[in-house]
Amino acid sequence: MHYDLTDLRLFVAIAEERNLTRGAARAYLAPSSASHRLRRLEEALNTSLFDRQTRGLALTRAGEALLRNARQVLASIEQMHANLSPFATGIRGHVSLWANTHATHTFLPDDLAGFLKRHPQVSVSLEERTSAEIVVAVANGEIEVGVLADSGTGAGVDLVPYRQDRLVLIVPAGHALAGRDHVGFAEVLDHAFVMLHAGSAIHTFTMNAAAALGRHLDVRIQVRSFEAVCRMVGAGVGIGLVPRGAALQVAGLTEPPVVVELDEPWAQRDLQICVRKDAVLSGFAAALVAHLRQGAEAGLR
């Protein structure tokens, strides 16, 4: 098969416009050139991509399949350009870092900002993943560095202490639980909850904790950040579980929630840096780990 990216871009433009002339204009080609390229593409694929109709073009089943794949290919090309473009402006290194929800929304933003200021020639891509996904990716060599909350994870990785934190209960001011110093998880299950979005590590963890007690949570709303959880709770929507570090970050809210200690052994959620066992890290990845460990040591002082 012989076709190029220009052919794919032209095909996508024609498919979206459902018109050859308008598609050709989007691809900056003359209609005659576009028609020739389209005919050559169909010959290369040995199938018709469009049904020619009086009011324009309609995709065939083969055309629909090609459109899905062509969009994926072109998106991958754009992502490749985005990944490479920093090198043209002096970036000489890149580190991929996966972290769980807790780390991503509490300690990592400040630590990564400090690292990037100290290493202007490095770029970092941060992805939010569950602890289980992070362990597998590090052990398989997909990424060099992860930050997670689970200890006792599988073989193939080394874990280094990063930050100590606990899950705490937050409730609206004036709530029945607001005057308590500490509370057990089983005592709060009859109340409506504000939760982080489904798929986040803390959402899964909390749901499993309730299921272990044979209960289901009454989830009033799911939001995308710990700050949003705190705002919703402060406004009286429900109660929530967040890391203490997240609760402290939003202490200046107009309606701040009240923090109540959670009297559960699993509430201790210490974060750890995860690297592949016995791996020799690349220079920039090693520098990132060293920086995160410095932040951990500073946090303990």
pLDDT in tens, 171-227: 999 999 999 999 999 999 999 999 998 878 788 889 999 999 999 999 999 998 999
DSSP output for 67-79: HHHHHHHHHHHHH
pTM (whole model) above 0.85: no
Q: What is the H or E stretch that residue 295 is in? A: helix 283-300
Q: What is the H or E stretch that residue 165 is in? A: none
pLDDT at 234: 93
- Of 223, 212, 213, nearest to 246 (Cα)? 223
d(CA 47, CA 59): 12
| Residues 222-264: tens digit of each pLDDT | 998 999 999 999 999 999 999 998 888 776 777 889 999 999 9
Share above pLDDT 90 across residues of the chain, in percent, rounded to a whole number:
69
Rounded mean pLDDT, 62-83: 88
Sequence-ordered strand ranges (E) for 72-175: 93-99, 122-128, 145-148, 157-163, 167-171
Sequence-ordered strand ranges (E) for the chain: 50-53, 56-59, 93-99, 122-128, 145-148, 157-163, 167-171, 182-183, 192-196, 218-223, 240-243, 258-262, 271-276
Token representation of residue 189: 């299950």
Domains of the chain plus CATH, in order, are 5-88 (1.10.10.10), 93-164+270-300 (3.40.190.10), 167-267 (3.40.190.10)
